[in-house]
Amino acid sequence: MPAMRAEAAIDEIKFDFGGGDVEPGYIGVSASDGYAPEKGYGFNTPDNMQNVTASGTGAASDAVQFLTYGTKSENTFNVDLSNGLYEIKVTLGNTARASVAAEGVYQVINMTGNNATDKFQIPIADGQLNILVTAGKEGTAFTLSALKIRKLSDNPVTNRTIYIGGDSTVCNYYPLDSSAQAGWGQLFKEFVSAQTFQVRNMASGGQIARGFRDGGQLEAILKYIKPGDYFILQLGINDTNPKNSTTEAEFKEIMRDMVRQVKAKGATVILSTPQGRATDFNAEGVHSSVNRWYRHSTVALAQEENVPLVDLNVLSSAYFTSIGPEATLELYMPGDTLHPNRAGATELARLVAEELQRQGLDGFSADR
């Protein structure tokens, strides 16, 4: 493959990683390809990369594996780019669960399954993209099959953004457009004006407030969030699990700390309470779960910090009551009374958007 300078004077650059055939229209990159200024792309430390096979087709039929990783790792794939705003589309190789980091912070959290695909916006202000696939689950391979880079603007500032934080009832599942299980954050963009906002769902399964604050997800949001952006934060389900050793008082203060850090960036913080279980019906057929998931502390915190509240716990209970126990159970995964399926996540996303629209926040629509 002759050297090709990657600097984005053109609209889109596509890379095909691994040791196999190179898909037409792509630049082939093997694990041994180190970065060189004359070509404008390559691995920073190629000794820490290896070629692997993948189960997809075309550019997804092979991949490279990152042998060292971490959001601060120097084992990155580097691409020289003119400064501006870019859309990055990533396709992983074979892996159980992996995250994507760039510029030292998380960009996509916990992509699951072989050849998972996702995309994100990133501003480049130093002339180079530095990206890697990193741990979502230790002990699995962190692999990259393909990368598409498209320039959106010469201005290195993200479009107006809604960031979402949460747990397994909120997070993304893959493939994004067809997964049976879904979090409401995954479906939220269906109720958001694409002309007003992009949605960045930073939720992850099993997450607690302390983990979200200290484990890199809040760090990624704070790096980019700005006035005009929203941050919707819904936690509490896993915090109430005794194994996580988080008292309700501790949960409330950790959440307060996150609220204040984001408010200091000039963005709007929105707190949300988690929905209950599918089986939280009384003998009269009324659904209620107001005593679950440290809800009372989230409600109180929203009042104390003067931030908008989406009491999804109560809103979803009213909806579940209106459709009844059997129809409610059909909105959850089989044999699972906590995690919504795609239809359930869609209804929860609708309720969140509908409530924000009712409160007068812009950019939302309850109509799909």
HSE of 177, CA atoms in CB hemisphere, 13 A? 3
Q: Which residues of 327-351 are buried (b: 16+ CB within 10 A; e: fewer)?
A: ebbebbbeeeebbbbbebbbbbbbb
Q: Taking the domains of the chain in order of start, what are their residue ranges?
A: 12-153, 161-358
The percentage of the chain sitting over the pLDDT mark of 70, rounded to a whole number, equals 96
**Span 9-19, pLDDT tens digits:** 458 999 999 99
322 in catalytic set: no
Indicate if the pLDDT at residue 1 is higher than 50: no
Contact yes or no for 133/69 (Cβ under 8 A): yes
In the predicted structure, residue 5 carries a pLDDT above the cut 60:
no
- With 50 as the cut, is the pLDDT of residue 7 above it? no
Longest dimension (CA), the chain: 73
Fold match between domain 12-153 and domain 161-358: no
Question: DSSP readout, 110-152?
Answer: EEESTT-EEEEEEEE-SSEEEEEEEESSTTS--EE-EEEEEEE
CATH number for the segment(s) 12-153: 2.60.120.430
The tokens for 356 are 């924000």
The alpha carbon torsion through 274, 278, 279, 285 (nearest 10 deg) reads: 100
Rounded CA-CA distance 204/185 in Å is 10
Given 30, 168, 204, 272, the catalytic residue:
168
**Is 336 assigned a catalytic role?**
yes
Give 324-350 pLDDT, tens digit per residue.
Answer: 999 999 999 999 999 999 999 999 999
Q: What is the DSSP letter of 96?
A: S
* Fold adopted by 161-358: Rossmann fold (3.40.50)
pLDDT at 214 over 90: yes
DSSP string, 182-223: --HHHHGGGGB-TTT-EEEE---TT--HHHHHHSSHHHHHHH
Quick check: is 339 catalytic? yes
